[in-house]
Amino acid sequence: MDLTFHTLPNGIRLVHCMTTSEVAHCGVIINAGSRDELPEEHGTAHFIEHMFFKGTTHRKSFHILSRLEDVGGELNAYTTKEETAIHASFLREHYPRATELLADLLFSSTFPPAEIEKEKEVVMEEINSYLDNPAEYIFDEFEELVFPDQPIGRNILGRPETVKAVTGESIRRFIARNYSTSEMVFCSVGAISPKNIIALFEKHFGRIGSREGACRQRSEYRYRPVTFEKKMETFQNHCIIGNIGYDLHHTRRMGLFMLNNILGGQGMNSRLNLSLREKRGYAYNVESMYNPYTDTGLITIYFGTDSRNLEKSISLTHTELERLRRQPLGTLQLTKAKNQIRGYLARAYENHENLMLSLGKSLLIFNGIDTMEEIFRKIDAVTAIELTDIANAIFEEASLSTLIYRQNGEKG
């Protein structure tokens, strides 16, 4: 993978991977998310993502939406706890159009008051939709339990009262405090030469003056295992079991990533999927997820099941965790686990939109990008003993927290 890097005097960085595809992708990733909000700003980072599409000094909302869609492209954005991104997919001849549009949205948005008021209703409906889906809502409530009264534990969408309090001035304050140009990366994957992408990058992003905001401070997390359940008017029970995990810079992050995949990753042959779904039919959806952050992490196991099978599913989950703690992987099992991870990563890189975002995030977080060969070497370096040590550190039963949405009676 041949990469091009470039840094502007204002601190904005570029990473570009040249391809031969007719379809290209580019975006901007900003090191600012919901964890950077003050308590009264809860939901502001996500609200700003919405408002990027609502008007600039050059365009009204309709013209923003039409700029790429008129030529078959797509404009999108997302917010996480630690980053905000705007990105586009388009035919390769429209690189100038896409690059100019992204710069316009990021640096020339006007946040019209009428649009802010209208978008509050949209976000409120997004919150209501999310509250209607317990399989999504339980993840955020679990993080609030694990990280009580801490910014990393707050959900991304915000609360109705904080969303209603958003103003143009509060948006500008958040941006001024958190949108540093040295914490922005323009990422690109497409059929354009390094010379031409650098020229576009300098033309549209080089005119921006340096902006420095507050640096994110590492936090000390006060974790105490907790078990909580509540009655819900649902068609099944929902359960999450989990613990804090390693942060993005931890030397054992790859080991935990691999262990998570063995336990309940995307493969149908994961241990939890085989135990709960394939062998016994207790669950339709069972998975584990590992989310590393700047200074902490979270690993969760989720499943939904009928009341008859809830306690049995919880018991089986703990049995699988016990196996990981007590039975080191054999040579063949370890080889299969590593080959599976290699295949997943290689396939993900074949998706050029995913690759574009991955390159941008890696440069933003680590100020560098590992080659596929370097990633494979890190995978190969993980040992069975290390995986057992990680399992004992993370999956010790006394260290686990549990949240259950218990079905409140039968639904007809």
What span, in angstroms and rounded, lies between the C-alpha atoms of 374 and 79?
A: 29
CA distance 119 to 114: 9
Measured in degrees and rounded to the nearest 5, phi and psi for residue 10 equal -80, -5
Write the pLDDT tens digit of every residue in 32-79: 999 999 999 999 999 999 999 999 999 999 999 999 999 999 999 999
Could you list the pLDDT tens digit for every one of the 412 residues in the chain?
A: 789 999 999 999 999 999 999 999 999 999 999 999 999 999 999 999 999 999 999 999 999 999 999 999 999 999 999 999 999 999 999 999 999 999 999 999 999 999 999 999 999 999 999 889 999 999 999 999 999 989 999 999 999 999 999 999 999 999 999 999 999 999 999 999 999 999 999 999 999 999 987 778 777 888 899 999 999 988 999 999 999 999 999 999 999 999 999 999 888 899 999 999 999 999 999 999 999 999 999 999 999 999 999 999 999 999 999 999 999 999 999 999 999 999 999 999 899 999 999 999 999 999 999 999 999 999 999 999 999 999 999 999 999 999 999 988 654 3
Q: Do the domains 3-205 and 227-407 sit in the same CATH topology, yes or no?
A: yes
The span from the CA of 58 to the CA of 265, in Å, is 45
pLDDT value for 267: 83
* Assigned CATH topology for domain 227-407: Cytochrome Bc1 Complex; Chain A, domain 1 (3.30.830)
Based on the residue annotation, tell me whether 121 is a catalytic residue of this protein. no
Domain boundaries, the chain: 3-205, 227-407
Residue 217 has, within 13 A of its CA and on its CB side, a CA count of: 7
Q: Give CA–CA dist 257/37, Å, rounded.
A: 28
Of 294, 293, 292, 295, the residue nearest 257 (C-alpha): 292
pLDDT recorded at residue 409 = 66
For domain 3-205, give the CATH superfamily.
Metalloenzyme, LuxS/M16 peptidase-like (3.30.830.10)
- Mean pLDDT across the chain: 95
User: How high is the pLDDT of residue 245?
Assistant: 96
What is the reported pLDDT for 48? 98
> Which is the catalytic residue, given 49, 115, 183, 386?
49
pLDDT, residue 221, reads: 81
Task: Determine phi and psi for 56, rounding to 5 degrees.
Answer: -130, 180
Distance CA 166, CA 173 (A): 11
CA gap 356, 345 in Å, rounded: 14
Edge-first strand order for the sheet with 3-7 is 3-7, 13-18, 184-190, 23-30, 84-91, 74-79
Longest distance between any two alpha carbons in the chain, whole Å: 65
What global pTM score does this model have? 0.93
